């Protein structure tokens, strides 16, 4: 079986009590199906509030979806019990956005990296030491003997994120969710971290779910891109195809928004879509993008929700232009 | 923040430094008190009138002489277990117990007493004489006593004064009166009737005639009190010889109305105050922290149950409950500590819960959950460590509250009678009217010590503030 992780019609609604009577639901993820293949990097791109982080958390089963199924390596883990989840967690890991708050400031690097081994009961103390030093070398925190006894406050943001990566990868997981791993890191270290992830993927063959708001980094790092808007996937295609031939108006606008270093483009008007995304508590009827869409078809887009259809081979888009 | 760093921050602030110094001093005194006195001090010594029988009542501390125009007699107790000298003789041996007294006071002693404990003899009963060598070179025989001979059927060795010691108040003993009359006639050619001499023994022993034929004035200088015991067998023994110079000022801290040495009572109050404060604070913060973490992290029904329980517990008026429970269950220190702890944790739980709610949604908890850690591991290894500095500060902050609560209860007469505390010393002072009589040495020190102890912990809390709140760090 080629798919490592499959999400089937996943919905994640959060109840918020905003009024005196009754409650509102935030529809963070509203019916998403996608799959991550083995040794593949799938980038999920979207604005903030589009539900991409929630999708990542659901796929790690850190939260239980309101509806739909999460299938990992052929096993349905939507309603897994503690023991099953623990087995799953050994094979699925996360790298988080904030390298400052995602690692424990009261533990030194050695303890931080030992914790996953400890939780899953791997190795005796000598083997653990070897694994920890190996992991530090892999993320290029060398010499490991020097870094291991340090506390996180002695490290830079980039170095901390490497510790976060080492912690996620020390268990040799098959599936890793990288939730904006470089958005809080100095621009100078970003490329390094992404190259490091790519290199580790080549060596160990794990799959990544790369969550980002930055389509430019997704382009360099991922094999496939899924674009998310307001809790839904609007377009998904292999990276090159999606960047070069975007079909969905929202994807087009996202690509337009990437600054280009060509001075000839200085005075070119960008076709950026106006306005802000709607609140996920009040999702517009029909196509979710229709209030902002430049290609809005009255009487169709605001009534019927477009399905995700295959517009070209392995290129899917949800837009009435192609129905 | 790591512990070394926390201590460095604590030491870098003035209040923190003062707090640490005070705390170390309190701890050192407590340690000394625990080592120097038995743990059942309250029952065996403090509340045992026999121990304090010789002491003057309501005597101010000895150093108060510095502030008064008249130098009053310092209460002094001389004890000896071994003779200072032995004079051998034919079939008889005289053992001398000598006490040197530098008498620099401007009044005669309130009383003088002589006592002797546990005497054993093998042949003839020993003969005891007490004499006084005065600074004017005169020798004065005060007391002569022959130990009672063997009773019919009793065979040596014979023991005397085992349970009740031989205790003689010199001013009340007829032999002493005869000896005094004899001394006055021989040395000063004075004839006074015995009825008049009674009550003047100490005045005459430590004075010379005033010149007007009637009164005596104090004769300061070096006195030597000699107790000579004539024994007729080398194995005869005496376990202790005591001479008490009854004064009107006493020791370091004076005495209360039962003659108890307040210095000892106050000293023993140190470890108890610290014990009450620290144990109560430890119990309450442990409970509060565990419940707060559980409530905040688990959420749902657990959270609601714990929070409502805290609301109820936190709103029960503590003092009436304490008084009621102590009436019902008895005046025990551990009970007071347990009740204070049982009602002290809810506030902390509510605070900790709000901190944990924030941490729970943070990336650290998310990341640790993704690693597969169990909720217990996350709560104890990660969340607890994040809030630990705050918890420590809360614990220190809670300590004086517990000490003050116990003092308050003791002051209401609800203290544990078997364990003397500062609060109880104060209470006894108020009950017996020490405040109105102006016995400042009795009321002020325990009050000040309570304040000092509470202040120590408040200073520590002030010093801890920058540790808990990083924005205050310079």
Mean pLDDT of B129-151: 89
Last residue in a domain, options B214, B246, B278: B246
Residues sharing a CB contact under 8 Å with residue B259, sequence separation 6 or more, in sequence order: B52, B53, B54, B55, B56, B57, B59
Report the distance separating Cα A194 and Cα A215, nearest Å.
Answer: 14
Report whether B425 contacts B47 (CB < 8 A).
no
Q: Would residue A167 count as lying in a domain?
A: yes
Indicate the DSSP class of residue B213: S
Other Cβ atoms less than 10 A from the Cβ of B26: the count is: 20
- Any domain includes A248: no
Scan for tokens 């000394």, then name that residue. Answer: B32
- In percent, how much of chain B has pLDDT > 90? 35
- The pLDDT value given to residue B53: 80
Q: What is the pTM of this model?
A: 0.80
* Proportion of chain B above pLDDT 70, given as a percent: 98
Q: CA A158 to CA B357: how far, in whole Å? A: 28
Do the domain assignments include residue B54?
Answer: no
Query: Count of domains in chain B?
Result: 2
B180 in the same domain as B318: no
Mean per-residue pLDDT, A214-226? 91
Rounded distance, CA A77 to CA A230, Å? 25
Distance from CA of B359 to the nearest CA of A (A): 10
Tell me, yes or no, whether B208 and B142 share the same domain: yes
Beta-carbon separation of B371 and A115 below 8 A: yes
Q: What is the mean pLDDT of residues A144-162?
A: 90
pLDDT (average), residues A225-241: 93
| Count of CB atoms situated within 10 Å of the CB of B114 | 23
What is the pLDDT, as a whole number, of residue A1?
57
| Average pLDDT of the residues of chain B | 88
Question: CB-based contact (8 Å) between A160 and chain B?
Answer: no
Examine the pLDDT at A274 and tell me if it is beyond 70.
Answer: yes
* DSSP, residue by residue, B174-200: HHHHHHHHHHIIIII-----HHHHTT-
Within a domain: B60? no
Domain boundaries, position B194: 69-246
**Conformational region of residue A39, where left means phi above 0, alpha means psi within -120 to 50, and beta covers everything else:** left
Say whether both B318 and B406 belong to one domain. yes
Mean pLDDT of B202-213: 81
Comparing A262-266, B25-29, B191-195, the range with the smallest average pLDDT is A262-266
For A50, A144, A169, A209, the CA distances from A120, given in Å and listed in that order, are 34, 22, 14, 23
Whether residue A224 has pLDDT greater than 90: yes
Residue B251, domain member (yes or no): no
B228 lies in a domain? yes
- In a domain, residue A275? The reply is no
Least confident of A22-31, A210-219, B3-12, B101-110: B3-12
Query: Can you tell me the mean pLDDT for A285-313?
Result: 87
Q: Which of B217, B246, B275 is the last residue of a domain?
A: B246
Report yes or no: A51 and A30 within 8 Å, Cβ to Cβ. Answer: yes
pLDDT at residue B20, rounded to an integer: 92
Lowest mean pLDDT among A259-273, B163-177, B305-319: A259-273
Q: 């969340």: which residue's tokens?
A: B383
Percent of chain A with pLDDT over 90: 50
The pLDDT value recorded for residue B214 is 66
Chain A residue whose CA is closest to B382 = A104
Pair (B75, B39) in one structural domain = no
Query: Does residue A180 lie within any of the structural domains?
Result: yes
- What CATH number did the domain enclosing A198 receive? 3.40.50.300
Spatial distance between the Cα atoms of A131 and B371, rounded to a whole number of angstroms: 16
- Residue A75: which domain range? 3-240
DSSP state of A269: P
Tell me: pLDDT of A188 over 80.
yes
The structure tokens listed for B239 are 């376990």
Q: What is the mean pLDDT of residues B392-408?
A: 89
3-class SS at A254? Answer: helix
Number of other CB atoms surrounding residue A235 within 10 Å: 26
The residue-averaged pLDDT of A62-85 equals: 91
**Would you say residue B233 lies in a domain?**
yes
Whether residues B266 and B380 share a domain: the answer is yes
In this model, does residue A267 exceed pLDDT 80? Answer: no
Quote the number of domains for chain A.
1
- CATH number of the domain that B376 lies in? 1.10.3720.10
Nearest to A102 among B2, B364, B377 (CB): B364
* SS3 call for B287: helix
Please give the Cα distance from B412 to A206 (Å, whole number).
Answer: 72
Q: How far is the C-alpha of B50 from the C-alpha of B57, rounded, in Å?
A: 14
Over 80: is that where the pLDDT of A263 sits? no
Closest CB to A104 among B364, B369, B370 = B364
Q: HSE on the CB side for A43, CA within 13 Å?
A: 27
Would you call B370 and A89 a contact, using CB atoms and an 8 Å cutoff?
yes
A3 has pLDDT over 80: yes
> Which position has the token pair 């996608």?
A34
Per-residue pLDDT tens for B35-85? 998 888 888 888 888 888 888 888 889 888 888 888 888 888 899 988 888
> What is the pLDDT, as a whole number, of residue B472?
64
Lowest mean pLDDT among A77-86, B204-213, B313-322: B204-213
Does A106 map to a domain? Answer: yes
pLDDT of B237 reads 87
Mean pLDDT is lowest, of B224-228, B251-255, B408-412, B467-471, for: B467-471
The answer to whether the CB of B209 falls within 8 A of the CB of B17 is: no
Q: Which 3 state secondary structure label does DSSP give A62?
A: coil
Sorted by sequence, the CB contacts under 8 Å of residue B105 that are 6+ apart come out as B71, B72, B73, B74, B218, B220, B247
Going by pLDDT thresholds of 50, 70 and 90, the confidence category of residue B17 is very high
The contacts of residue B449 (CB under 8 Å, 6+ apart) are B266, B269, B270, B273, B422
State how beta strands B166-169 and A315-317 pair.
unpaired
Contacts of B371 in chain A (CB under 8 A): 89, 93, 115-116, 119, 167, 171
**Of B246, B272, B300, which residue constitutes the final position of a domain?**
B246
- Residues B167 and B210 reside in one and the same domain: yes
Q: Say whether residue B372 is in contact with chain A using an 8 A CB cutoff.
A: yes
Verify that B40 and B101 share a domain, yes or no: no
Mean pLDDT score across all residues of chain A? 89
- Chain A residues in contact with B363 by the CB 8 A cut-off are 96-98, 101-102
Higher-pLDDT residue of B473, B319: B319
Q: Indicate the pLDDT class of residue B151, thresholds 50, 70 and 90.
A: confident
> pLDDT tens digit string along B233-286?
888 888 889 998 888 888 889 898 888 999 999 999 999 999 999 999 999 999
Q: Residue B474: pLDDT band by 50, 70, 90 thresholds?
A: low
pLDDT above 70 for B434: yes
What local confidence, expressed as pLDDT, does residue A40 receive?
A: 92
Residues B145 and B289 grouped into a single domain: no
Q: What number of other Cβ atoms are within 10 A of residue B39's Cβ? A: 11
ipTM of the prediction greater than 0.90, yes or no: no
**Where are the alpha helices (H) located in chain A, listed in sequence order?**
52-59, 82-91, 109-119, 125-138, 144-147, 157-169, 187-204, 215-221, 239-244, 249-256
Closest residue in B to A152 (Cα) is B1
What integer is the mean pLDDT of A182-199?
88
* Res. A19: pLDDT tops 70: no
Backbone angles phi, psi at A224, to 5 degrees: -135, 150
pLDDT value of position B157: 84
The nearest CA of chain B is from the CA of A106 a distance in Å of: 7
Q: How large is the average pLDDT for residues B169-174?
A: 84
**Contact assignment for B364 to A93 by CB distance below 8 Å:** no
Residue B253 lies in a domain: no
For residue B317, give every residue at least 6 positions away whose Cβ sits within 8 Å of its Cβ, in sequence order, or none: none
In a domain, B214, yes or no: yes
């Amino acid at each position: 079986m080629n798919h490592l992780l499959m999400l089937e019609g996943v919905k994640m609604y959060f109840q918020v009590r905003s009024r005196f009577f009754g409650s509102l639901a935030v529809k963070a993820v509203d019916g998403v199906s996608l799959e991550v293949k083995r040794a593949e990097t799938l980038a999920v791109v979207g604005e903030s509030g589009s539900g991409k982080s929630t999708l990542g958390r659901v796929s790690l089963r850190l939260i239980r979806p309101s509806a739909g199924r999460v299938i990992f390596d052929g096993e349905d883990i939507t309603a897994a019990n503690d023991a099953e989840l623990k087995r799953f967690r050994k094979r699925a890991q996360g790298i988080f956005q904030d390298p400052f708050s995602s690692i424990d400031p009261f533990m030194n690097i050695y303890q931080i990296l030992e914790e996953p081994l400890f939780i899953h009961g791997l190795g005796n103390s000598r083997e653990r030491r070897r694994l920890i030093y190996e992991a530090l070398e892999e993320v290029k925190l060398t010499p490991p003997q020097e870094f291991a006894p340090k506390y996180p406050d002695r490290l830079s943001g980039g170095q901390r994120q490497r510790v976060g990566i080492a912690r996620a990868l020390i268990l040799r997981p098959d599936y890793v969710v990288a939730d904006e791993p470089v958005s809080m890191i100095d621009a100078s270290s970003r490329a390094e971290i992404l190259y490091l992830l790519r290199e580790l993927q080549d060596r160990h063959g794990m799959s990544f779910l790369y969550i980002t708001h930055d389509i430019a980094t997704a382009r360099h790092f991922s094999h496939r891109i899924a674009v998310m808007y307001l809790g839904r996937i609007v377009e998904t295609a292999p990276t090159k195809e999606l960047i070069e031939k975007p079909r969905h108006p929202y994807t087009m606008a996202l690509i337009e928004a990437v600054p280009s270093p060509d001075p000839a483009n200085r005075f070119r008007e960008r076709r950026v879509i106006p306005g802000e995304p709607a609140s996920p508590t009040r999702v517009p009827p029909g196509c979710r993008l229709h209030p902002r869409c430049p290609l809005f078809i009255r009487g169709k887009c605001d009534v019927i929700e477009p399905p995700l259809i295959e517009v070209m081979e392995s290129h899917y888009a949800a837009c009435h232009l192609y129905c | 923040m790591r512990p070394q760093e926390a201590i460095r921050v604590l030491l870098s602030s003035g209040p923190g430094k003062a707090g640490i110094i005070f705390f170390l001093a309190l701890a050192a005194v407590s340690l000394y008190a625990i080592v120097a006195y038995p743990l059942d001090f309250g029952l065996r010594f403090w509340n045992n009138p026999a121990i304090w029988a010789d002491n003057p009542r309501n005597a101010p501390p000895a150093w108060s002489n510095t502030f008064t125009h008249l130098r009053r007699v310092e209460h002094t107790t001389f004890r000896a277990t071994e003779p200072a000298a032995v004079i051998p003789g034919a079939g008889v041996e005289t053992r001398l117990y000598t006490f040197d007294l530098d008498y620099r006071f401007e009044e005669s002693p309130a009383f003088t007493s002589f006592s002797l404990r546990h005497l054993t003899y093998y042949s003839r009963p020993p003969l005891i004489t007490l004499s006084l060598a005065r600074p004017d070179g005169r020798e004065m025989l005060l007391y002569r006593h022959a130990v009672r001979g063997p009773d019919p059927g009793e065979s040596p060795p014979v023991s005397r004064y085992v349970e009740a010691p031989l205790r003689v108040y010199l001013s009340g003993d007829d032999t002493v009166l005869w000896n005094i009359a004899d001394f006055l006639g021989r040395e000063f050619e004075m004839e006074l009737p015995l009825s008049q001499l009674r009550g003047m023994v100490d005045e005459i022993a430590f004075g010379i005639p005033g010149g007007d034929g009637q009164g005596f004035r104090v004769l300061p200088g070096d006195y030597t009190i000699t107790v000579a015991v004539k024994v007729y067998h080398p194995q005869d023994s005496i376990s202790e010889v005591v001479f008490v110079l009854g004064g009107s000022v006493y020791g370091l801290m004076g005495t209360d109305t039962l003659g108890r040495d307040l210095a000892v009572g106050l000293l023993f109050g140190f470890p108890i105050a610290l014990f009450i404060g620290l144990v109560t604070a430890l119990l309450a913060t442990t409970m509060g922290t565990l419940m707060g973490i559980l409530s905040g992290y688990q959420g749902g029904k657990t959270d609601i149950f714990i929070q409502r329980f805290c609301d109820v517990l936190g709103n029960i008026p503590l003092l009436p409950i304490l008084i009621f429970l102590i009436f019902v269950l008895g005046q025990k220190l551990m009970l007071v500590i347990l009740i204070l702890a049982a009602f002290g944790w809810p506030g902390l739980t509510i605070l900790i819960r709000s901190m944990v709610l924030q941490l729970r949604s943070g990336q650290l908890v998310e990341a640790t959950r993704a690693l597969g850690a169990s909720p217990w591991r996350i709560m104890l290894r990660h969340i607890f460590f994040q809030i630990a500095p705050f918890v420590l500060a809360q614990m220190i902050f809670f300590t004086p509250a517990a000490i003050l609560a116990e003092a308050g209860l003791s002051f209401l007469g609800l203290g544990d009678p078997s364990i003397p505390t500062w609060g109880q010393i104060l209470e006894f002072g108020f009950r017996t009217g020490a405040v109105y009589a102006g016995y400042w040495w009795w009321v002020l020190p325990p009050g000040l010590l309570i304040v000092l102890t509470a202040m120590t912990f408040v200073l520590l809390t002030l010093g801890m503030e920058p540790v808990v709140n990083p924005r205050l760090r310079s």
